[in-house]
Protein backbone atom coordinates (compact mmCIF):
# COMPACT_ATOMS: atom_id res chain seq x y z
CA UNK A 1 0.00 0.00 0.00
CA UNK A 2 1.27 3.48 -0.81
CA UNK A 3 2.01 6.13 1.79
CA UNK A 4 -1.14 7.51 3.38
CA UNK A 5 -2.07 11.14 3.78
CA UNK A 6 -1.14 10.87 7.46
CA UNK A 7 2.46 10.48 6.27
CA UNK A 8 2.39 13.81 4.43
CA UNK A 9 4.29 15.74 7.13
CA UNK A 10 7.15 13.22 7.01
CA UNK A 11 7.14 13.24 3.21
CA UNK A 12 7.29 17.05 3.20
CA UNK A 13 10.24 17.04 5.60
CA UNK A 14 12.08 14.47 3.50
CA UNK A 15 11.44 16.44 0.31
CA UNK A 16 12.75 19.61 1.95
CA UNK A 17 15.87 17.68 3.04
CA UNK A 18 16.40 16.46 -0.53
CA UNK A 19 16.00 20.01 -1.82
CA UNK A 20 18.54 21.37 0.64
CA UNK A 21 20.90 18.50 -0.15
CA UNK A 22 20.61 19.08 -3.89
CA UNK A 23 21.16 22.80 -3.34
CA UNK A 24 24.32 22.16 -1.35
CA UNK A 25 25.53 19.64 -3.93
CA UNK A 26 24.95 22.17 -6.71
CA UNK A 27 26.79 24.89 -4.82
CA UNK A 28 29.75 22.59 -4.10
CA UNK A 29 30.00 21.42 -7.73
CA UNK A 30 29.83 24.98 -9.08
CA UNK A 31 32.22 26.23 -6.40
CA UNK A 32 34.72 23.53 -7.38
CA UNK A 33 34.75 25.15 -10.81
CA UNK A 34 35.65 28.47 -9.14
CA UNK A 35 32.71 30.48 -10.45
CA UNK A 36 31.64 32.49 -7.41
CA UNK A 37 29.07 34.69 -9.15
CA UNK A 38 27.38 31.59 -10.60
CA UNK A 39 27.36 30.01 -7.12
CA UNK A 40 25.63 33.07 -5.72
CA UNK A 41 23.05 33.08 -8.52
CA UNK A 42 22.35 29.35 -8.11
CA UNK A 43 22.09 29.66 -4.32
CA UNK A 44 19.63 32.55 -4.60
CA UNK A 45 17.53 30.63 -7.12
CA UNK A 46 17.58 27.50 -4.97
CA UNK A 47 16.57 29.43 -1.85
CA UNK A 48 13.71 31.08 -3.71
CA UNK A 49 12.66 27.73 -5.19
CA UNK A 50 12.57 26.03 -1.80
CA UNK A 51 10.68 28.99 -0.32
CA UNK A 52 8.19 28.79 -3.18
CA UNK A 53 7.73 25.05 -2.56
CA UNK A 54 7.16 25.71 1.15
CA UNK A 55 4.59 28.42 0.40
CA UNK A 56 2.85 26.18 -2.12
CA UNK A 57 2.74 23.30 0.36
CA UNK A 58 1.34 25.54 3.12
CA UNK A 59 -1.25 26.95 0.72
CA UNK A 60 -2.34 23.44 -0.27
CA UNK A 61 -2.69 22.40 3.38
CA UNK A 62 -4.76 25.46 4.20
CA UNK A 63 -7.02 24.96 1.18
CA UNK A 64 -7.56 21.27 2.03
CA UNK A 65 -8.40 22.07 5.66
CA UNK A 66 -10.70 25.03 5.07
CA UNK A 67 -14.13 24.14 6.38
CA UNK A 68 -15.78 27.36 5.29
CA UNK A 69 -16.06 29.21 2.02
CA UNK A 70 -13.66 31.81 3.40
CA UNK A 71 -9.95 31.30 2.73
CA UNK A 72 -7.49 33.10 5.07
CA UNK A 73 -6.17 36.40 3.70
CA UNK A 74 -2.51 35.37 3.98
CA UNK A 75 -3.19 32.32 1.82
CA UNK A 76 -4.94 34.43 -0.80
CA UNK A 77 -2.05 36.91 -0.73
CA UNK A 78 0.51 34.13 -1.25
CA UNK A 79 -1.50 32.68 -4.12
CA UNK A 80 -1.81 36.05 -5.84
CA UNK A 81 1.74 37.32 -5.28
CA UNK A 82 3.88 34.20 -5.72
CA UNK A 83 4.35 34.26 -9.49
CA UNK A 84 4.40 38.03 -10.02
CA UNK A 85 7.09 38.33 -7.35
CA UNK A 86 9.13 35.53 -8.94
CA UNK A 87 8.90 37.08 -12.40
CA UNK A 88 9.68 40.55 -11.05
CA UNK A 89 12.75 39.19 -9.26
CA UNK A 90 13.97 37.44 -12.40
CA UNK A 91 13.35 40.57 -14.45
CA UNK A 92 15.31 42.75 -12.01
CA UNK A 93 18.22 40.29 -12.00
CA UNK A 94 18.18 40.10 -15.79
CA UNK A 95 17.68 43.83 -16.40
CA UNK A 96 20.35 45.02 -13.97
CA UNK A 97 22.76 42.22 -14.94
CA UNK A 98 23.71 41.66 -11.31
CA UNK A 99 23.76 37.93 -11.79
CA UNK A 100 23.42 35.59 -14.72
CA UNK A 101 19.76 34.58 -14.95
CA UNK A 102 20.44 30.99 -16.08
CA UNK A 103 21.94 29.79 -12.75
CA UNK A 104 19.07 31.50 -10.91
CA UNK A 105 16.58 29.59 -13.05
CA UNK A 106 18.57 26.37 -12.49
CA UNK A 107 18.32 27.00 -8.75
CA UNK A 108 14.57 27.52 -9.05
CA UNK A 109 14.37 23.96 -10.42
CA UNK A 110 15.91 22.41 -7.27
CA UNK A 111 12.49 21.67 -5.70
CA UNK A 112 11.58 19.61 -8.74
CA UNK A 113 14.69 17.52 -8.15
CA UNK A 114 13.82 17.03 -4.49
CA UNK A 115 10.29 15.94 -5.33
CA UNK A 116 11.62 13.60 -8.03
CA UNK A 117 14.10 11.91 -5.68
CA UNK A 118 11.47 11.45 -2.96
CA UNK A 119 8.96 10.13 -5.51
CA UNK A 120 11.44 7.57 -6.83
CA UNK A 121 12.20 6.40 -3.29
CA UNK A 122 8.49 6.05 -2.51
CA UNK A 123 7.95 4.02 -5.70
CA UNK A 124 10.93 1.81 -4.83
CA UNK A 125 9.61 1.30 -1.30
CA UNK A 126 6.17 0.35 -2.63
CA UNK A 127 7.65 -2.05 -5.22
CA UNK A 128 9.68 -3.81 -2.52
CA UNK A 129 6.59 -4.05 -0.32
CA UNK A 130 4.64 -5.65 -3.19
CA UNK A 131 7.44 -8.15 -3.90
CA UNK A 132 7.34 -9.47 -0.35
CA UNK A 133 3.53 -9.68 -0.26
pLDDT of residue 114: 93
Provide block-wise average pLDDT over 10 residues at a time, the chain (133 residues): 64 92 95 91 92 84 73 79 81 82 90 93 86 73
pLDDT of residue 4: 55
Nearest CA to 11 out of 128, 132, 117 is that of 117
Separation CA 39–CA 26 (nearest Å) = 8
pLDDT of residue 1: 47
Segments making up each domain of the chain, as ranges? 12-124
Separation CA 97–CA 107 (nearest Å) = 17
Amino acid sequence: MAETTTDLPEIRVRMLRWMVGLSILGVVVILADGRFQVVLAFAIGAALGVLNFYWLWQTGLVLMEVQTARVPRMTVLLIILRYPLAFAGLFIIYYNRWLSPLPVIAGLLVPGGGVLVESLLLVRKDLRRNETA
